[in-house]
Structure 1
Amino acid sequence: MFISQSKIDDLIASDGAFLDLTTELLQDFVDLNAPARLSIVTRQDLIFSGGQIAREVAARFGCETQHLAREGSAFCAGEEIFSAQGSFESLHKAWKIVQIVFEYSCKISTYAHEMVALMREANPRCVLGATRKSFPFAKELCVNALIAGGGSMHRLGLHDSVLFFSNHIRAFASFSEFCAQIAKFKERAPERKIMIEVASEREFSELLKYAPDAIMCDKMSPGELRACVLRRDETAPQIKICAAGGINKNNCAEFAATGADVLVSSAVWNQGVCDLSGKIEFI
């Protein structure tokens, strides 16, 4: 995952732009330049992610990363997930930035991993697609964590896919009038898949006649979604079905079992943080 140096610098500036006042007060009692080691340990089972950002932050403070796991690695409670060496002063500057990156990133990757496992047990072909509702100013961290957990991005942004929502469709006199233009949309963007959101079985059935590439069923119950999948299988099996609206770890298996191809969810972004601890010791 490419992360620009300016993004790393902005992250550092948000916490360590000036000086570490607390550590500076120790200068008459402690050699701030003495070599030390930072260790980040998890207090819970997790799926690791965020290592690239952590390594870059440590390096900017002149610290050398010693232990860095592969993205997507599984750790048990009590295990070390990251370590770095540097001066006592520098490690204190890097410590909380690194730990906070891991706390948020690993929570996303862990939750995504748990959702994917539940979905695949119910439907091995079903894919987790996260919405673009990730944290503002942190898309690189969020997307990297999601992928480490086995998920994928439903949409990275407006630029990467075609998805007509109800707000687009209302620009037409009727749903039928909109559907009649789908062939023209395909002509204007022949290399793109055309996806359209529907909110009812009636709209779904009408839309099938116009053969979009994918249909996103919004806020349907598992029963309604299953009915749509069966109708698709009978008439247009090439069309992909995405399900969206309130899907999370508690209900993803039920939605996956309907036969949907993709479950679209924002739940991975709002699960809080992992429980980690950091220790700095002289070496």
Structure 2
Amino acid sequence: MARNERGKIIVEGNAGNNIGGGLSGGEIIIKGNVGQFCGIRQNGGFIYIGGNAERAVGVEMSKGDIVVCGRIRFFAPGFEFANEEVDININGMQINGEFLKFVGDYAIKRNPKGKLYALKEKNLGLIEPELYECYEGYRYDGGIKALLNTGSTVVQGEIIKGGKKFTEKYVKECAVCYIHPKDYVHLGEPEYVNVISEDKKSCITLKAIPDDSLQEGTVFIPRSIWANIVIGSYTESMGSPLYKGCYVYVEPVKEKAEILTAEEIMKKIYG
């Protein structure tokens, strides 16, 4: 439930993705959790989040204030730690507690004026990386619920431009799932994994590859027909599915695995 009070929007519970995108004034008070990209491109105003914030809160903001009283997951790298503040007051709203103050987003602007406050007791990992951990419970017995990112690789581009999508080389490059080493160990160091869509209606078997360049709780699949099987259909009203940031379940394959070729996928799943 949400209500508007003269330039102030109050959400009594949780909110979805892209809340406050492009906000330039006013206030948004969210008493629960928010999804991904809350405050994206914010250029003024104030956003209060009483619960947790998912991926990239405040990303590309240049001005304004965001306060997060829960845990931030997958923090945007363009924010710089400034100092610690106690019992902050923004727009006449008194918010008690010890907060970590960040300024950003330096990834989008040289001298940003955006300020992001994160409750210290919930977000110590943002300034002490050895304490960082994803939300409790993303690992479960026999699998993980991971944030899926996709993207094109250099080798994949070379294969595509050569018109060789139906080759073994393309399968080896794209029918893979990169996993953080700690998550890979939790899965039992499998050779293959099943990647299952969040609604559990679709599943694809891929070769598992540990990769310490990823954050824990995330996996990467080259943007291809294999990734298309498990990404969500929600388009954020943009006409294109969310190729980065949807959730999937990843579980080890304990029996002999079958990796489908692009042609087999077209015939078996789309045919």
TM-score (normalised: structure 1): 0.24
Higher relative contact order (CA 8 A, sep 6+): 1
Q: Is the helix fraction higher in 1 or 2?
A: 1
The structure richer in strand per residue is 2
Structure showing greater Rg: 1
TM-score, normalisation: structure 2? 0.25
